[in-house]
Amino acid sequence: MASTYQPIAPITQPWNLYPQPVTALSFDPVSDTLWTGLDSGNVLAYYTPRGMRGVTYPVGGGLAVKKVITEDQYVRAVGVASDGMGSWNKGGVNKWYFRSSATVTTFSNTSSTSQVIAVSTTAPELLLLNALTGDAVRQVSAPSMISHLEFSHTSLLSGSMDGCIRTHDPRTGMRRDDGGGESTAKAHVGNIQGLQVSGNFVYTAGWGLRQGRPFLDPLVKIYDLRTFRALPPVPFSDGPAYINVQPKRQSSIVITSNQGLINIVDVSNPNKAYEFYHLDAPSFITCAAVSPTGSYMAFGDGEGVIHLMTAGDHDGDIPFNGFEGQPVEWADTPEPLPDIAWTDSTPLNSIGLPYYNNMLLSSWAPQFMTTKPHFPPPAKIPPQVISTMKMSDNVAYAPLPKELKGRRNMVVVGPRRDQARFRSGKLRRQDSEPETPTVETLPEEIPRVYSKVEIEYSKFGVEDFDFGFFNKTEYSGLETHILNCYTNSMVQLMYYTLPIRRLAKSHITTNCPREHCLLCELGFVARMLEDAKGINCQASNFCKTLGMLAQAQNAIELIDYGRDSPDMNYAHTIQAFHRFLIDHISSEGNSFPHNPSLLPSAFVGSPSSPAAAPITQLLGIDGKNVITCMNCKAVREKENMTHMVDLVYPRKIYPEDPTAQHDFVTILRNSLIRQMTHKATCQTCKQFSTFETKRSIPTRDLPAILAVNAAVYNEENFRFWLDSRRNRFLSPTMEVHGQIEGVDDAEAVIYELRAMVVQIVPKEGSSHLVAIVKVPGAPNTPDRSPWFVFNDFMVRNISEAEALSFPGKWKVPAVFYLERVDLRDELDFSALPDELDATILCTDTNISLNRDKSLIKHECLRYEELPRPGTLVAIDAEFVSMQQEEVEYRSDGTKKVLRPARLSLARVSVLRGDGNKQGVPFIDDHIHTSETIVDYLTEFSGIKFGDLDPALSRYTLTPLKLVYKKLRLLVDRGCIFIGHGLTKDFRIINVFVPPEQVIDTVDLYFIKERQRRLSLKFLAWFVLQENIQTDTHDSIEDARTALRLYKAYHRFEEEGSFDQKLDELYRDGKKHVSCIA
């Protein structure tokens, strides 16, 4: 380009009687467009250097537009008074709008490494938004209010009101501060006025102080990003108000003052003569911009005039973007109204109806027809009356029999229906399970099976809730009263994907060193769901581990704080969690170079090379990216491994195009071999050019399990999924072809849909997630399909047509798992370990640094003492509170439990149940936890502050996961557990023990007709003539007492006196009510 600029005709606002000041400018990088922000709060497009007026739209607030940034597909802007920032397409259609409780001060360009933009507010805080959806993915506080944000190739830079520039991690937004001050530099005394980044240099202009008054600092400061050290500044005596980088000369910057003085400086060569220009502007300059090729410079002033300067003598013939790019988008012209010749015989239906959102009264539909009568049917006439009835003039009459006198006009009140939800209030009659109505419903009406279910709490706690009322199948559901339980659907999806279940179950048999391991917890949940066989379970340890890991990695979008909001987008959250989960279980299950090979040898690239992580072998999509420079046609290849596919949809739907294919298989395949373009400097031709990237994946390399994120973020994408009259978008099986170097692979593989997670969006209230699973091995008969809905703890069988259907906007797709049919029976899991190491019961495990040997009360099992099926063990556990109970008090004085207190295992004691060492504990572990303990419950648990701290505890302290493995081993080896109140203990520990392996003294010493259960303390006093729990609870003492009560029960049974003893228990219990639980 030429070295000098010359002015050309400015762009004015002749249509506006009172021209609006131009407050922001941005050149379009791909079209001949200049985007302007006006003082009225509107964004206006000018096409070509001659200033043809184009699309305009408001950004909100009614005051000046503060900043405009234009990218290839989007225009983003923020106003001074707007309640957030938004993204629009080039035609003016809003894509998303992020609203903030605090005023947005500025935002950045899109990060070059990820689809993220940074936004700052007056809070002050810094947020990272998903550039495609506008959802907040990170939120961190800022030390000062930020006025400028820019992404460099390595960092996120911010300029603040305190005159400092700071570097932030572009992934988290956190400052990069190692204590040495490398992340912060004091550039100016006052606010940063301008900030630009080019290569390894950052340029700033700001405010200083002179005689106590602010003024523009006459120096443009320069910093080297590699060392964050100041370089010699550039002087500009007129006061630098705006800084822009010359794109073609990256070491040159354009400095502009408010008075219209322009200086182009080459900072790498200070001795080179500067270029000076002066604008003939009648008003002060309000903004400045340089075109992507440097061919144009634009300056807005306070009277609405845009002053243009161009390089060379083309006089505006070259487009703004420097080449013939995308055509400009004009606003759609509304269709003209039809010309109707109105006569007396013109039918009214030729006029048409306006658009409406609410259902019209004339639009009769099945939802207007009730399946039940509005009023109860009339009572049947008693037979005594019918037998004496007489007729007279079509009127029947009869005397009232004596046996019916006194019962006239009496209404029989039926029992409350919600009593069936509690075991304590169950009626004698058997309530049938709720079924989805067979009457055809509207597409927007949510069937009952998908509606949100919630646990209710009676005075007996959550154990009294009748989960069996909601699940009559042999497949277990998961409970919902736990933080992060939105992952229940994803856990069910992983569980019913058999290869992943096998990996998770195998991982818990290894010596995993991680305290918080999602793969371990997934394995424990899988074992629990296997054993439960239809009884409800809870994934409390899995949810707790997720919270700990997400907190540690600042993944705040994955953390559930227990506040249900109607605006919560669970589909987006579960897809983010899906990525988080796969990344973690891939690294947690990786034992490189000792990973077993799961795939057949025919599908392994090199038999001699070590196998990848097991999850990568199952889900890994091993592709090759072929990158082509469109300028010099240079080609390079790059290996690429991913674990999941995000669906990419066609930009627009053209129903009139018969060749267009928009079925699921086509979109899935296009997403697998996704073709992308980007701009960069070519290493071959040394030109800044466009690159085309194609992914090459042979069919044989497609994974055994294909994990798919639906990525439905807008209405346009969701239209693909909605059912049509002719067919459905989704099919149970699909044929997928790969691609080799741009040519379709002739070989094809068949994938079968195994499971999916969908979001249920009601018209009112918060949304939730459900899993729809084709259960492996489930019978497929005419009256029952293998498809089931797992709606938390409600499980229902549904037809395949209903499972694959998306009838309305209430059912939003999120995650899909497909199984490759030809590899299903070829996977080899024989090299995976499948048994827990039994010697952990013979090992004294302790992580306490100050254990007192005098307090060790247990003796580990010898190898010959390892339990066999039927071995008796006595057990008791103590707990601490991690979260207080959430209660709602009503105006009438009653209370409703919203969320019960969350307890965590603090101590567990297991005693020998028979033999020479009967009653001697072999496990007596205090459990270490890294969570904050709210209440030690010392009165009931005996646990005190410091007992669970490795640095302070004097007891045997063991990690929770190791204790869980010990209990899991006892369950697997067929031990019979004896204790008092074990149902609640096992529930909190989060382990399922088959009922035939549990002997609970609460149930042994219990008369069902009395309804009241006896406490351990009272039973010990009456049966054993001993006083226990005199000061506090001790788990060894309680377990030993339960064991002795069990022995006493057998002694009474042998003597034939147990029933008499039980009557005496309850008779004496009335005299000691306080001792009865």
Annotated binding residues for a divalent metal cation: 876, 878, 985, 1038
Give phi and psi for 653, each to the nearest 5. -105, 130
Query: ω into residue 377 within 30 of 0, thus cis?
Result: no
1039 membership: H or E segment, kind and range: helix 1035-1055
Q: List, as one string, the DSSP characters of 2-69.
A: -S-EEEEEEE--TT-SSPPPEEEEEE-SSSSEEEEEETTSEEEEEETTTTEEEEEEE-SSSS-EEEEE
Cα dihedral across residues 126, 127, 128, 134: positive or negative:
negative
The residue type of 634 is A
Treating both helix axes as pointing N-terminal to C-terminal, what angle do 540-552 and 570-588 enclose, rounded to 10 degrees? Answer: 90
Cα 464 to chain centroid, rounded: 31
Task: Give the separation between CA 789 and CA 804, rounded to whole angstroms.
Answer: 12
Task: Give the separation between CA 878 and CA 952, rounded to whole angstroms.
Answer: 19
Ordered alpha helix ranges (H), 261-403: 383-387
Which residue do the tokens 């022995």 mark? Answer: 1047
Task: Give the separation between CA 643 and CA 972, rounded to whole angstroms.
Answer: 33
Residue whose C-alpha is closest to residue 522's, from 563, 475, 567, 581: 581
Which residue do the tokens 């106590």 mark? Answer: 212
Would you state the structure tokens that stand for residue 907, as one six-digit string?
């101590």
Cβ(526)–Cβ(504) under 8 Å? yes
Cβ(826)–Cβ(500) under 8 Å? no
Would you state the structure tokens that stand for residue 415, as one six-digit string?
């029992």
Q: How far is the CA of 924 from the CAs of 411, 479, 907, 908, in angstroms? A: 61, 30, 7, 6
Give, in degrees to the nearest 5, the angle at Cα 993 between 989 and 998: 110
Task: Give the separation between CA 809 and CA 911, rounded to whole angstroms.
Answer: 56
- β-pair partners for 136: 129
Residue whose C-alpha is closest to residue 456's, from 426, 427, 422: 422
Could you list the beta-strand ranges (E) of 153-228: 156-160, 164-168, 184-186, 192-198, 201-210, 213-216, 219-224
Cβ(953)–Cβ(850) under 8 Å? yes
Query: Which residues make up each annotated binding site?
Result: 876, 878, 985, 1038
Cβ(158)–Cβ(168) under 8 Å? yes
Give phi and psi for 313, each to the nearest 5. -120, 30
Would you state the structure tokens that stand for residue 995, as one six-digit string?
């009922």
Task: Give the separation between CA 857 and CA 920, rounded to whole angstroms.
Answer: 8
Cβ(752)–Cβ(803) under 8 Å? no
Residue whose C-alpha is closest to residue 925's, from 879, 878, 968, 957: 957
Q: CA torsion angle for 49, 54, 58, 62 (degrees, to 10)?
A: 60
829 membership: H or E segment, kind and range: none
Q: Tally the residues of the chain.
A: 1077
